[in-house]
Amino acid sequence: MGDFPEGTESMELCGRRFDTGEAVRVEVDGQKVAAVRSCAGDPAARGWPWIAPGLVDIQINGYGGQEFSSMELTVEKVCRISQQVLSFGVTGYCPTVTTESFEVLEHALRTIAQACESSPEVARHVRGIHLEGPYLSTEEGPRGAHPVEHCRRPDWDEFQRLQAAAGGRICLHTMAVEFEEAPSFIQQLVAAGVIVGIGHTAADAVQIARAVEAGARLSTHLGNGSHLMIPRHRGYIWEQLAQDRLMASLIGDGHHLPPAVLKTFIRAKTPQRCILVSDMSGQAGQPPGRYASRFCDVEILPNGRLVVAGQHEIMAGASSPVGCGIANAVRFAGLRLETAIRMAAHNPAGLLGITPGGLSPGDPADLVLFRFEDGSEGAPPSEFAPVATVLGGRLVWQSPDPP
């Protein structure tokens, strides 16, 4: 790609383990962890950052003013976004292509595939493509910010053509499941090795149950992409919460889900079935203000909330990285840091069927070093603040003022 810093074949990383707090020196040789040595009692370890497996974000729609779902997407822009998200401690991600015309979707998917083919670094970073739509509800609320003129019924021939454009890289597909043909369509996706997420749907309990029986495995950003008012007992949110075969991705930026809702969802679903995602929009990384897009203007409010312009309720993606969700899961749901990290690293990796980074000899050297206060002595947790990212045994990003 040309933008990654030059790496080395071996290195030593010093940090406190995310799971035990123990100070360790991690020796990296090639793309693997070679050894992990305890430094308990070493006075120098007091200032060391935390060290954890790199984060895996299965829903990134773009960054820095560029959506993936755009005719303006180029190979160079894909490479730039890939470089930028390394600064968030993300060592694996799914570029997310959202509802558009066939021509735009085909262009976006082919461009991402070309970036992976032209750059080994991008190919290592991209763990598959998430296609969110276009087979989504047209109703206001469930549709979210997806353009209504391009929301349509499932079409297996069209999906196959899109998968061909992606070079077979579509690994996750989010769809509404109220369509009559949804169960058979889901079965075809599962048979083709594609993970199915339920999202932007107005489905009833029976339709959700049929989707799960057909093989759906995920609730995409549960609690978002929904009506502002739903039945208090028979709503599709509760049905998905109660489905043990569904994992749930959650946007933990503090805007998409209020603190009490995030806490309740995690407790109901259990941390083992929850995945933290960013859902970062192409406008993420830009200052507060109003931004034009092809279908609707969006606005980044001073507090970081990203909404359809002119109102404060309907979200249009997120502007915060997935690490913000880690901090909020600790703060709002009372989770241990280890548990929150697993929701942003191990759980999404498990869904995708990939091996996450780790801190044992032989584990992939996909790691993040970060600052995070543990909230001891009544101090509130700080924001998740990466200081270095290691991908495939290479130092691919570090903060301008590393520890």
Burial of 11 (0-12, 13-18, 19+ CB in 10 A): middle
In a domain, 323, yes or no: yes
- pLDDT for the residue numbered 305: 86
Residue 62 and residue 15 share a domain: no
Within this chain, do residues 217 and 304 fall inside the same structural domain, yes or no? Answer: yes
Structural domain of residue 377, as residue ranges?
10-52+357-398
Has residue 332 been placed in a domain?
yes
Instruction: Tell me, yes or no, whether 200 and 217 share the same domain.
Output: yes
181 and 306 inside one domain: yes
Tell me: do 25 and 148 sit in the same domain.
no
CATH code of the domain covering residue 378 = 2.30.40.10
In terms of domains, do 17 and 122 share one?
no
Widest distance between CA atoms in the chain: 64
Q: Does residue 194 belong to any structural domain of this protein?
A: yes
Residues 89 and 215 in one domain: yes
Helix 156-165 crosses helix 102-118 at what angle (to 10 degrees)? 30
Q: How many domains does the chain have?
A: 2
Give the Å distances, CA to CA, from 134 to 78, 110, 131, 143.
21, 17, 8, 10
Looking at the fold, whether 377 and 315 belong to one and the same domain comes out as: no
Instruction: Please report the pLDDT score of residue 300 as a whole number.
Output: 86
Same domain for 197 and 225: yes
Considering the domain boundaries, does residue 348 fall inside one? yes
* Closest among 352, 372, 340 to 276, alpha carbons compared: 340
Domain assignment of residue 1, yes or no: no
What is residue 117's predicted lDDT score, i.e. its pLDDT? 98
The verdict on 139 and 258 lying in the same domain is yes
Task: Report the alpha-carbon distance of residue 135 to residue 174 in Å, rounded.
Answer: 8
Query: Quick one: pLDDT at residue 5?
Result: 45
| pLDDT tens over the chain, length 403 residues | 334 444 456 899 999 999 999 999 999 999 999 999 999 888 888 889 999 999 999 999 999 999 999 999 999 999 999 999 999 999 999 999 999 999 999 999 999 999 999 999 999 999 999 999 999 999 999 998 899 999 999 999 999 999 999 999 999 999 999 999 999 999 999 999 999 999 999 999 999 999 999 999 999 999 999 998 888 888 999 999 999 999 999 999 999 999 999 999 999 999 999 999 999 999 898 888 888 776 678 888 888 888 878 877 777 778 899 999 999 999 999 999 999 999 999 999 999 999 999 999 999 999 999 999 765 555 555 689 999 999 999 999 999 876 5
Stated pTM of the model = 0.94
CATH code at 157?
3.20.20.140
Domain-located, residue 121: yes
Same-domain pairing of 34 and 181 = no
